[in-house]
């Protein structure tokens, strides 16, 4: 499957916002209300499944089995088959499979996952990750901001729709501000809004 900037992009429903968005949207979700977060993510996952997209959730606050049970309680109709369409995996094994974090490796994994999802016949790929793992001192975690910035470059080539979850009760204000500067969109009160703090990199060919 070709992975070039000319890849055709669809409009897709995010579930929690009534407007459709272009696939490949990169969103920062800074939250301090767990119930609101659960509701937003449940709708995001359900709409991806209904749109015949592959969905991946990288969970840090509980086990994948606990997440699966929670999503079902929230009304998400998870597939009962082998998990091809809905992938629930721990954040640490995803971002730090050998105990270290490498932006190059993670970006490569996202690109490969998008190609694999298209190869398997899905219309797209949407992901979300709980980012608490970045606070545990894994070697390479100091490159988190660089990684988030580089995601924007990757998503111009492969349109993975992404929500990055940051708990405002755990991350300090300076880090959150730096994170906002590298996310084009943010989630506020259950809606997606253009991020006024976003700074387009000089290397961005679209600016």
Q: What is the pLDDT of residues 48-72, one digit of tens each?
A: 999 999 999 999 999 999 999 999 9
Give the single-character DSSP code of 101: -
Rounded distance between C-alpha atoms, residue 52 and residue 59, angstroms: 22
d(CA 2, CA 14): 25
Whether 8 is in a domain gets the answer no
Other CB atoms closer than 10 Å to residue 70's CB: what's the count? Answer: 16
Could you give the angle at the alpha carbon of 101 between the alpha carbons of 98 and 102, nearest 5°? 105
Percentage of residues of the chain with pLDDT beyond 70: 92
* 11 occurs within a structural domain: no
Q: Which residues neighbour 25 within 8 Å (Cβ) at sequence distance 6 or greater?
A: 14, 161, 162, 184, 185, 192
The answer to whether residue 201 is domain-embedded is no
Compute the half-sphere exposure of residue 9: CA atoms within 13 Å on the CB side of its CA.
18
102: which 2 tokens?
């490498």
Phi first, then psi: what are they for 90, rounded to 5°? -70, 145
Q: Residue 87: its pLDDT value, please?
A: 96
The three-state secondary structure class of 39 is helix
Residue 184 located in a structural domain: yes
Question: Coil, strand or helix: which one is 96?
Answer: coil
Q: Where are the beta strands (DSSP E) in the chain?
A: 11-13, 20-22, 26-31, 54-59, 86-90, 125-130, 161-167, 185-188, 191-194
Cβ atoms of 76 and 68 closer than 8 Å: no
- In-domain check, residue 83: yes
Secondary structure class of 179 (helix, strand, coil): helix
**How would residue 154 be classed by pLDDT, with cut points 50, 70 and 90?**
very high
Residue 120 inside a domain? The answer is: yes
- Is 205 inside any structural domain? no
**Cα-to-chain-centroid distance, residue 171:** 18
Judge whether residue 202 has pLDDT over 70: no
Q: How many domains does the chain have?
A: 1
Q: Is residue 3 in some structural domain?
A: no
* pLDDT tens digits for range 88-130: 999 999 999 999 999 999 999 999 999 999 999 999 999 999 9
**Full domain range(s) for residue 154:** 16-194
Phi-psi region of 137 (alpha: psi -120 to 50; beta: other; left: phi over 0): left
Mean pLDDT of the chain: 92
CATH number of the domain residue 30 falls in: 3.40.50.300
């Amino acid at each position: 499957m070709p992975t070039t900037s000319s890849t055709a992009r669809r409009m897709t429903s995010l579930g929690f916002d009534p407007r459709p968005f272009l696939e490949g949207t990169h969103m920062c979700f800074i939250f301090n209300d767990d119930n609101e977060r659960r509701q937003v993510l449940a709708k995001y996952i359900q709409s991806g499944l209904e749109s015949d997209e592959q969905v991946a959730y990288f969970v840090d606050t509980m086990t994948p089995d606990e997440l699966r049970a929670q999503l079902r309680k929230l009304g998400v109709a998870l597939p009962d088959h082998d998990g091809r369409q809905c992938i629930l995996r721990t954040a640490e094994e995803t971002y730090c499979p050998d105990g270290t974090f490498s932006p190059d490796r993670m970006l490569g994994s996202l690109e490969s996952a998008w190609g694999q999802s298209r190869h398997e016949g899905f219309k797209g790929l949407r992901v979300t990750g709980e980012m608490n793992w970045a606070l545990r001192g894994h070697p390479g975690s100091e490159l988190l901001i660089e990684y988030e910035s580089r995601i924007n470059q990757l998503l111009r080539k492969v349109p993975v729709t992404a929500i990055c979850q940051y708990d405002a009760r755990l991350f300090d204000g300076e880090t959150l501000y730096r994170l906002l500067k590298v996310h084009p969109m943010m989630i506020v009160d259950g809606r997606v809004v253009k991020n006024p703090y976003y700074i387009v990199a000089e290397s961005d060919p679209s600016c």
